[in-house]
Structures are given as structure tokens and as C-alpha cells.
Amino acid sequence: MSAAVMYPVIDPTIKHVGVSKLRELNATTLKETEDTFVIQDNNTPLAVLLRYEKFLIMQEQLMSVLNTLELLSEKEELKGLLAGIKDMQSGRVRSLKEVEAELAKKG
């Protein structure tokens, strides 16, 4: 998911289904669908059923956000990040290819 995606996201694959609809959701049906189901009882949402791959993507995004928050909350890490941004803005950077070439000459 890119940074260009803004929340809240309206996902057209989300289907609201009643509890009784669960009987129709067997392994074959679930393997073939890309839909996300909000399972509800009397219009009250109870649970969300989604493909495992979507769940893993959500977990990965959550961990990315938590890691970023951790980085930004540690004073020394934040100082290093800001120094790196200043170096980039000032043009004091080299490409990975340049660094690897220099290391190869020394090695």
C-alpha cells in the first residue's frame, strides 16, 4: 500500500452479511473470493472475515507504523534521521554503487 492512499479507505470488496450467510462460506468459496465480509447480526457488526494475505498486509503496515513511531520517539535515532535528511538536502550523499565501488577498492 502506498503513502498516497489516504484513510478512511472505502473498499468495494467489503460485503456486509448476516450470520446466516456463514453457512454458505465453505473452503472452496473462500479460496475463490477476494471479498472481505463484515459479519453482522441485526445490523450490528460482529466480526470481519478477510483473506489471510490481506491480514498479513495489514500486520506488515501496522508494524511499519509502530517501527516509525518508535524511531521518532527515541531522541538519538531522531537526531540521526534529521542529520541524514539535512545531508540529503545539502547534496552530501553518495549512491550505494559509489560506496560499494570504494569498499571494493579497499578490500
Instruction: Note whether 19 and 61 are same-domain residues.
Output: yes
Instruction: Note whether 25 and 53 are same-domain residues.
Output: yes
Give the predicted TM-score (pTM) of the model. Answer: 0.59
Contact (Cβ atoms closer than 8 angstroms) between residue 30 and residue 40: no
Instruction: Note whether 36 and 80 are same-domain residues.
Output: no
Q: How confident is the model at residue 1 (pLDDT cuts 50, 70, 90)?
A: very low
How many independent structural domains does the chain possess?
2
Instruction: Note whether 85 and 54 are same-domain residues.
Output: no
CATH number at residue 19: 3.40.1620
The string of pLDDT tens digits covering residues 64-99 is 999 999 888 999 988 998 999 999 999 998 999 999
The residue range of the domain holding 94 is 74-106
| CA distances (Å), origin 103, targets 82, 84, 107 | 26, 21, 6
- The answer to whether residue 36 is domain-embedded is yes
Distance CA 13, CA 53 (A): 14
Distance CA 38, CA 16 (A): 5
Instruction: Note whether 82 and 98 are same-domain residues.
Output: yes
Residues in Cβ contact with 35 at an 8 Å cutoff, skipping those fewer than 6 apart? 13, 14, 15
- What is the reported pLDDT for 17? 87
Instruction: Note whether 29 and 47 are same-domain residues.
Output: yes
The string of pLDDT tens digits covering residues 2-19 is 545 555 666 778 888 888
